[in-house]
Amino acid sequence: MVLNRVNTEKSDSGDSTRPLRMLSYITAAMVSIFVAWFTGYIRTDGTLDTDGWFLLASGREIVHNGIPFENPWSLDPGQGIIVQQWLHDVWLYGWYSLAGYTGVATSVVVPLAIAAIAYYFLIERLTRGCRHQGITWLLYTVGFFQMFTYISIRPTLWSAGCLFVTLNILFAWREDGNVRALWLLPAVTLLQVNLQAAMWPLCLAACLSFLLPEIGELHIKTFKTDIVAWYTYRIPLVRACLLMCIASLLNPYGFGGALYTVLSMEAASYGNVISEMRPFISSPNDSYGIVCTMVCIVIPVAIAIIKGKIPNIGVLAFWIAAVVMGVLKIRCFWIAWTVSFAVCAYLCGIDRTGIEREEEDIAIRLMPVLFIGVLLATSVLNASKEACSSVGTTASGWSAFDQEMAPIVDALKGTDARIFSSDDTLMNYFEWEDIKVSYDMRPEIWAKAIAGERTHDDYKRYVDVVNAKSFKTLNDGYWDVAIIRKDEQRLFEKEVRGSEKIVSTSRYCLYRLK
């Protein structure tokens, strides 16, 4: 039942494979250099993110007042809240307290390092049967490439690290039958449910997929005996899955935190205005989405055909689920990409008996360390540069953005006005500035399932205005003030009569509505 995919017996490789060996090293080195260099061009705004204002506001609230169960930023009192990433928010606010916005931006180096190292060990484990380490480097660098679009101060990197650690544990158990490693799974869940509650079911799904029987494990003639053997072998993993479910309840919100994915499922999709909630392939002309999706599917299938092997049922099931998840939601595509290349690594290393990896020079063995070091250094430098940018936006140059928004903030503080903003990212910023709002960029925390009963839904009102591409509904007297982008100013003044311009900056105009 235990997988014995690598045999340590020596084999005479000779010099016939030296050209292939050198080619694999050169290819892996070139790809590594390209990927590390390209990092700054993928995240052009650095690591700061429009969600960052809410994360900082939440961290500050928790540090000073404890875990909130009632939304402290809501204009309407009595609204419930679940802060699913509360531990990550406290982490970010700690960096802000130490080094301001630059500290926040560079804080990603820690979860990025954890995710990068965990993914390397996963790929290295799965390719131990390959003769040359160049295969490991190549699959690792290409497999981790898609993660660079997610290098931000959001908690996604923590979830990636948790997933890669979980897969390492599962494959370790499958290879040597060491059930002690499975005891780490509930600890991973405990950490993840407090760092990003919405993503802990991902690791549970990986574990459940490993419960599936392998090909040829169950036979009709000996079904009773086989099913007992299958169940007996997987009892430790079943126990670990149950403990993971229990560990998921160990968060400040109990069942609310554990079920956050279910509670928030519909709210964020309303009106299809949040880009990351859309399908990865946005249209038949989306060449990038189509190519990336085809890579996730075609390369593992091609390797399987060439080798004449298929993954076991559990690996296959989780790969299919990961690809489907990534294609359906942009925010989840990192799962599809990284898992697909983990499957490639699994296929490359499967059934490689009688082969021992050739002894490598110290420089060769240190290349993964060098790559990860360059990756982290590039990310930190890019983050620091964009955090201090003189061009202030909601995603970079936050100090400059503070100066840009100061007149609007001064005009709104203490007014308790019902604010409409055509740029919804500003609502997160107002939460950081302690200005009450009635919606923000996280619609799930304003939905009935989390916030409770409400007489109105301002997020839906905002989405309806965006989708209508018209400001005419702002004439109904519901909103007190409106913040309009400069490029929308002419349309707004044409459609909303009687509005009074209070403040004007280089990017926005603040109007008082009738």
In the chain, % of residues over pLDDT 90: 45
Predicted pLDDT at 1: 47
Predicted pLDDT at 308: 87
Measured N-to-C along each axis, helices 367-387 and 86-106 cross at an angle, to the nearest 10 degrees, of: 90
- In this prediction, residues 210-238 reach a mean pLDDT of 83
Whole-angstrom Cα distance, residue 514 to residue 479? Answer: 9
The label of the residue with tokens 């595509």 reads: 333
Q: Has residue 502 got a pLDDT over 70?
A: yes
Q: Has residue 236 got a pLDDT over 80?
A: yes
What does DSSP assign to residue 130?
A: S
Its pTM surpasses 0.85: yes
Predicted pLDDT at 346: 93
Whole-angstrom Cα distance, residue 100 to residue 383? Answer: 13
Q: Has residue 11 got a pLDDT over 70?
A: no
- Mean pLDDT for the chain overall: 83
Residue 161's nearest CA partner among 335, 319, 324 is 335
Predicted pLDDT at 94: 96
Please, what is the end-to-end C-alpha distance for the chain in angstroms? 74
Asked if 513 and 496 touch (Cβ cutoff 8 Å), the reply is yes
Cα torsion at 282, 342, 46, 466 (round to 10°)?
20
In the chain, % of residues over pLDDT 70: 79
Q: Of residues 163 and 23, which shows the higher confidence score?
A: 163
Predicted pLDDT at 443: 84
pLDDT band at 411 (very low <50, low <70, confident <90, very high): very high
Whole-angstrom Cα distance, residue 198 to residue 276? Answer: 15
